[in-house]
Copies of this chain bind each other. A is one copy, B any other.
């Protein structure tokens, strides 16, 4: 039963042409008569022939393999959601374009993380690499990758990284701006803001988009009480009481991501306040919990699958054209403000 798999020579023999011609047909090469092409394809079909990728690479140089790197020490929920989305999108694209997606993790805190990733690239001989945060911000790693012949695309890279490699992400500044406009439209005038990790580009941009919307509505930075969180549920829980105590008059709390928003909700609930009656809360990311929690969270949907898909597409474009590294380019994918029940009109009594 497990008879030897058919090789290109079997196909050549069956269709009565040379091995080179079969190869040409298989790779869509030019200069093959239609009649011959048809004959070869028929033989391929009859033999259930599948090219051997390993052999193809050995001869050709392309592996048609893309690596997707993510941090192995992030195993809490938000990241599993984040990475799954990216991965699913990337996978769809890979299937479509005939590439393979191989996963690799690295310890984000390890000093040798760049080395480990470089090693992976050397070892797997992958044609392309998708870097997710925090690796998409590791300029050191990015520089080392330059010399290697791999197409790199970063997911939500930081500013410095954007100069070194192409990237995809959403426009956090605009998204935050739109989300805030929604709140302003609801009548809110005094805000709390739970910031994300210091130095994290998205975190900073979310804050500046927020401020821009406020400024446009004639609201100054003095109307906002901010606290620096770290994107975790826990920091949401811990920071919220302080914000509400110090910032009298706050009617809306903007969180740099959903996890902190859920933490805030938790904390607010404990304090005996009602959302959205007493306070509106909004998040960022549209994680699954945001829909399940009570009240469902108004947030910004981050199109992870589309991002993963686009990342692969960008790599494939570059690999297919075979050209040398084009100038790095950042591409923003359309986000969407998702309006649910955690944000409502500001109560006159609280203004």
Name A residues whose Cβ lies closer than 8 Å to a Cβ of B: 1-2, 5, 50-55, 57-58, 63, 65, 72, 75-81, 83-85, 87-88, 91-92, 95, 100-105, 119, 122-125, 147-149, 233, 262, 266, 269, 287-289, 292-294, 305
Bound Cα distance A85, B84 (Å): 10
Cα(A103)–Cα(B67), bound, Å? 10
Tell me the number of copies of this protein: 2
Interface of A is mostly: helix
Assess whether B88 is in contact with A105, with CB atoms less than 8 Å apart. Answer: yes
> Chain B residue with minimal CB distance to A233?
B292
Return the contact of A81 from the options B80, B92, B103, B147 (Cβ within 8 A): B80
Which residue on B lies nearest to A122, using beta carbons? Answer: B50
CB A74 to nearest CB in B, in angstroms, measures 9
The answer to whether A288 and B84 touch (CB under 8 A), given A95-B105, A104-B91, is no
Q: Which of B54, B79, B85, B289 is A63 in contact with, Cβ under 8 Å? A: B54
Known A101-B103, A149-B2; judge A53-B84 contact (CB<8 A): no
CB <8 Å contact, B53 and A125: yes
Of all chain B residues, the one with the shortest Cβ separation from A80 is: B84
> Is A88 within 8 A of B104, CB to CB?
no
Known: A72-B92, A125-B54. A87 touches B103 (CB 8 A): yes
Q: Say which residue of B80, B91, B123 sits within 8 Å of A105 (CB atoms).
A: B91
Please indicate which of the listed interface residues A80, A266, A293 has the most CB atoms of chain B within 10 Å of its own CB: A80
A65 to B124, CA, bound (A): 10
In the assembled complex, the CB of A295 is this many whole angstroms from the nearest CB of chain B, namely: 11
Which residue of the partner chain B has the closest CB to A91? B105
The docked-state distance in angstroms from the alpha carbon of A214 to that of B319 is 61
